[in-house]
Amino acid sequence: MAGMTTSAPMSHHEAAAAIVAAVRTGLPGLTERVVTRIRAEIPFYATHDVVAPDDLRDSVSANVGYILDSLTGTATANLSAPHATGRTRAAQGVPLAEMLTAYRLGVAELWTELVTAARSLPGVHAEDVIDLAGAVFAVQNTYSDAALDAYRDEAREILRARERERAALVEVILTGTTAKGALWEVANALRLPLDGVFLVIAAETELGHDPIPHAESALAVIDVRSVWRLDAEVSLGVLSLPDRSRNGAVLGVLDRHATGRIGASPVFAELHQAGWGLQLARLALGSPAGGSKVTQFRDSPIDLLVAAAPHAALQAARAVLGALLRLPGEELELLLGTFEAWVRASGSATVAGAELYCHPNTVRYRLRRIESATGRTLANPGEVAELVTAVRAWRELPHP
């Protein structure tokens, strides 16, 4: 190698020891050059907001020292320095790519220093430097792997801690018992407004698996922010919508991504109502399923009144519907569906028949069957109101 002497040769081990010893004499200057290069070439390290200069300097010095100790083979490999660097950078939020780039720059600067030292020493030959290069690359791999493993371990622990904290904050919102000042702090931490347009979602799970994979990112595409808490039996979410018109799009996204059934609350306007929304979402989840995987509790005065006293509402429904409930499931569904279509049609058998694709006389026949089974007449507005409430309760609330 150009510049190297041809005096009495040394063994590879002796040459490595001599080169390392020469580099050690200039270790403080080498450390400063590495720090300067990292700050100049990696923008994330350019400011002092995350990694302070003294922190970076201490890390570089410790890691360069570790590599030099390992090159001669006289010291037992000690990975405490790269382990500490990896965990510290993960905790500081330094991107993994930037940390690995800093490692690469540090080793490159160290290699330049090793070659410079080798050129100045008598008895060191090109073969010695080649042998030393293999050792440097091997140590670099060990060093980088150790730092990478520590970084990932710390990142996983941070993520788990954040998930636990996030779940606890979501729980605070869903219990609905927090003072307004504390609720503001929780909402701020979750980046949710106190007033706006909200939904609460309850999705059934299987063995604790997420029943709506990618829900958060899929909802974000339509400008809906969501926070979630996953339990063994149900996944609960609080959604913040830009406006009420986005409700249908939200239900569509959930239906496409869900692996099981989902209950949704009606839209509400204040975050402190989330506890109330959760009750209705659970009721919707437990109600008889339709064609969609998503069931939203209907936002009407009757439905909300039914939800306010579900047990009493079901008892009243059984009393009003009477013999109807002894019919086979499909037949009962046909009659109740016909009645609801007739109500939506403002009592017109013709309009209801058009919706149901049947003759108006068929609608009238089914309505007479309801009158006969319940002992109530549809000519009496009060008895119609009883039937409407009973049918809503039976259709909306979970029951055996």
Span 56-68, pLDDT tens digits? 889 888 888 888 8
- Is residue 255 predicted with pLDDT exceeding 50? yes
- Is residue 202 predicted with pLDDT exceeding 60? yes
Question: How far is 72 from 66, CA to CA, in rounded Å?
Answer: 11
Q: Average pLDDT over the chain, rounded to whole? A: 85
**3 state DSSP class of 177:** coil
| Per-residue model confidence (pLDDT) at position 195 | 92
| Per-residue model confidence (pLDDT) at position 290 | 59
- Is residue 193 predicted with pLDDT exceeding 90? yes
Stretch 43-67: mean pLDDT? 84
Read off the pLDDT band of 339 (50, 70, 90): very high
| Per-residue model confidence (pLDDT) at position 227 | 92
Task: Sketch out the chain's domains with CATH numbers.
Answer: 12-158 (1.10.490), 181-297 (3.30.70.270), 308-396 (1.10.10.2840)
Question: How far is 342 from 69, CA to CA, in rounded Å?
Answer: 87
Among 343, 373, 368, 371, smallest CA distance to 356 is for 343
Residues in the chain: 400
Q: Residues of the chain with pLDDT > 70: what percent?
A: 91
| 74 or 399, which is more confident | 399
Stretch 320-349: mean pLDDT? 91
- Is residue 117 predicted with pLDDT exceeding 90? no
- Is residue 74 predicted with pLDDT exceeding 60? no
| Per-residue model confidence (pLDDT) at position 367 | 94
Least confident of 125-129, 286-290, 317-321, 327-331: 286-290
Read off the pLDDT band of 5 (50, 70, 90): very low
| Per-residue model confidence (pLDDT) at position 3 | 47
- Is residue 69 predicted with pLDDT exceeding 90? no
Contact call for residues 12 and 68 (beta carbons, < 8 A): no
- Is residue 23 predicted with pLDDT exceeding 90? no
The strand pairing partners of 209, in sequence order, are: 206
Read off the pLDDT band of 232 (50, 70, 90): confident
- Is residue 111 predicted with pLDDT exceeding 50? yes
DSSP string, 211-278: SSTTHHHHHHHTT-EEEEEE-SSEEEEEEEESSGGGHHHHHHHHHHH-SS-EEEPPPEEEGGGHHHHH
Stretch 369-395: mean pLDDT? 90
Span 135-167, pLDDT tens digits? 888 888 888 898 899 999 988 888 778 778 888
- Is residue 2 predicted with pLDDT exceeding 50? no
- Is residue 400 predicted with pLDDT exceeding 70? no
Read off the pLDDT band of 120 (50, 70, 90): confident
Q: Which two tokens stand for residue 28?
A: 């403080």
Question: How far is 391 from 300, CA to CA, in rounded Å?
Answer: 14
Question: How far is 253 from 226, CA to CA, in rounded Å?
Answer: 13
Contact call for residues 233 and 214 (beta carbons, < 8 A): no
Contact call for residues 16 and 131 (beta carbons, < 8 A): yes
- Is residue 7 predicted with pLDDT exceeding 60? no
Least confident of 164-178, 218-232, 316-330: 164-178
Contact call for residues 362 and 337 (beta carbons, < 8 A): no
- Is residue 362 predicted with pLDDT exceeding 70? yes
Read off the pLDDT band of 341 (50, 70, 90): very high
